[in-house]
Structure 1
């Protein structure tokens, strides 16, 4: 029997419909372009991407994957949204980004195919869009080598996150398309940390991401009550 994909068809369709906007820095993906340097610097400072084998899970149009490859990493980006992957592949060809490839495969399937194969794994803004986030966390833990790094980012399921990330970002400021996020699918840091521990990953650190609507700038902070990143490591 074929194992069901851990993916929501409605979510895949949502991002496929926006695929042609991935590399437009003034489009719906403007926030991702703005926060990408902050994320990249934090990941690189902890894991040193140069000459590392890196997997970007839920890579979308390749914004983070592309920037990690430019840091000297050998990057594989995976996603189940076909149109987004085609955009990522085309961008890599047009810009000549070295050491990068894209595949349409689930993280669970790749874990069976290539266990303990990557030095660094990133999974950004994906967990809140899948039916079973813990399955993704387990697969990520299986894919990373001993002593390897795993980085997640997602949204805290809190009243503050509901007001800022959904009401504020989607309905007031129109920074994101309405319906991008569902409150019930958001994940508390304690829940993600527990999933990591159950999968054999040790929590190393967290960072919050805040947006200042006056300066229109993002910054990394210690406040994880809305957007946050979590760094974990698979110690041998």
Structure 2
């Protein structure tokens, strides 16, 4: 497979591959993902019951969300291009005996060509700020989901507050995330993501913000989309 022709940033892949063994350590730099996972999962599951659904998790990393959705009764496929992270996900699924979850090293665009319209739900969380062409990912997700099916996105807004909180705050001051995890230029405004969704025949139905209090180390969902935010969309027609 020639990764150079795909919508992938090799430096980003290397970054996450180097961290792979720490994905399931809840006190590692991936602690924020473990902390926000129940919030993401409950929000998704509250809008569409995952029981018996065929679900695709795009950019699944070490499988934190994919694993949780499978435990809600979904049949889950997680895809990523970071080989080491996928191996971690596969190993965890074996060790934890997670039912109905599998992983594949393939891009969303390539899978969309192979299996269009074959998933009830598609999730793409904390991933679009790491690829060169987010619009291409949105199109692929729209192609992969069945008509009327749900596609969920989460990413980081691009503004001064997001820069201060997501980069300066989280990476440098609090040391929550490895330095260089995020690049400000790759952040995506909600208006831009909504435009990508409309162009791909996805109707944006719900938006939520994700907030964090560094003193209490607590996360919660709110209406404030100024930093981290989530979109729930449905495929039209």
- Please indicate the TM-score interval, normalised by the length of the shorter structure: over 0.9
Deviation at 1:47, TM superposition (A): 1.2
Deviation at 1:213, TM superposition (A): 1.2
User: 1:43-58 to 2 correspondence within 5 Å?
Assistant: 43-58=44-59
Deviation at 1:164, TM superposition (A): 0.5
Distance in 2 between the 1:160 and 1:111 partners? 35
Taking a change above 3 Å as real, the CA distance of residues 225 and 113 of structure 1, as seen in their structure-2 partners, is same
Taking a change above 3 Å as real, the CA distance of residues 3 and 142 of structure 1, as seen in their structure-2 partners, is farther
Taking a change above 3 Å as real, the CA distance of residues 226 and 220 of structure 1, as seen in their structure-2 partners, is same
Q: Deviations over 1:171-207 (max 9, x none)?
A: 0000000100000000000000000000000001100
Equivalent pairs counted in the alignment come to 236
Distance in 2 between the 1:139 and 1:3 partners? 18
Q: Deviations over 1:25-49 (max 9, x none)?
A: 0001000000000000000000110
Please state whether the residue corresponding to 2:163 is helix, strand or coil: helix
2:143 matches 1:142 = yes
Structure 1 residue runs of 4 or more that deviate by more than 4 Å after TM superposition: none
Q: Deviations over 1:60-95 (max 9, x none)?
A: 000000000000000000000000000000000011
What is the RMSD computed on CA atoms of the aligned residues?
A: 1.1
Please state whether the residue corresponding to 1:24 is helix, strand or coil: coil
Distance in 2 between the 1:177 and 1:47 partners? 34
Taking a change above 3 Å as real, the CA distance of residues 114 and 180 of structure 1, as seen in their structure-2 partners, is same
Indicate the residue corresponding to 2:62 in structure 1: 61
Distance in 1 between the 2:153 and 2:3 partners? 28
Indicate the residue corresponding to 1:176 in structure 2: 177
Distance in 1 between the 2:161 and 2:192 partners? 17
2:196 matches 1:195 = yes
Deviation at 1:235, TM superposition (A): 2.7
In the alignment, structure 1 segments of 5+ residues that lack a partner are none
Indicate the residue corresponding to 2:157 in structure 1: 156
Indicate the residue corresponding to 1:101 in structure 2: 102
Distance in 2 between the 1:101 and 1:143 partners? 17
Deviation at 1:101, TM superposition (A): 0.4
2:29 matches 1:28 = yes
Indicate the residue corresponding to 1:112 in structure 2: 113
Distance in 2 between the 1:212 and 1:157 partners? 20
Indicate the residue corresponding to 1:220 in structure 2: 221
In the alignment, structure 2 segments of 5+ residues that lack a partner are none
Deviation at 1:3, TM superposition (A): 7.8
Distance in 2 between the 1:161 and 1:123 partners? 20
Deviation at 1:214, TM superposition (A): 1.5
Q: Deviations over 1:84-116 (max 9, x none)?
A: 000000000011100010000000000000000
TM-score, normalisation: structure 1: 0.99
